[in-house]
Structure 1
Amino acid sequence: MNPWVSPKDLKSRLVVDTLDEITEEGVRQSATHFIPEGAVSMVVRSGIRNRPIPVAMAGRPLTVNQDLNSKGIEQHPNAFPWLFEIFRPLNETVELSPTQG
């Protein structure tokens, strides 16, 4: 079984374990894929309104569900913490109105 990250797992800066898992067959037969350790994930599709947008880094190779978008700079893995720091303010300051999406 492989860790499968969803918004409920983005509670700390680093995600290592997840509440849900996905089988190898599930990975092969779906749109999910593995993201590298250090990649930054954030919620891009959810019912979030007037609260912080969850952002976290992968603590190991993980798969993510459709509510998340993950970015990494595979040619420069040392840049992952820098990328996280760019997105982290979204977790602290963004508030969306009901008409924003």
Structure 2
Amino acid sequence: MATAKQPAKTSRIELRASDGDRELLDRAAAVIGTDRSSFLLNQGRLAAQRVLANREQFVLDQLGLEEWERINNLPARNLPGLICLLQRPSPFQPQA
């Protein structure tokens, strides 16, 4: 049976953890039959993909795509309240 070639691991990642966290990670890795490094890398990769998913791409089915296009093709609305809000000085900028 052929296995997919894994990319070479050329970078080192180090982190500090409490004894309790290390024990917890070791136990979780053992439960799924892997080592701590593989467990952390796999779980970290999954977490990173979840964090970035909504910031980098989104997938729509055909109905969703049609609705997206319908909304994006609507003419811009005049929102006087928003215009007023954007013209106010920022409360986060020091006033001269």
If the TM-score is normalised by the length of the shorter chain, which range does it land in?
Answer: under 0.3
Structure in which a larger fraction of residues adopt helix: 2
Q: Which has the higher contact order (CA 8 A, sep 6+)?
A: 1
Give the TM-score taking structure 1 as reference length: 0.22
TM-score (norm 2): 0.23
Q: Which has the larger radius of gyration?
A: 2
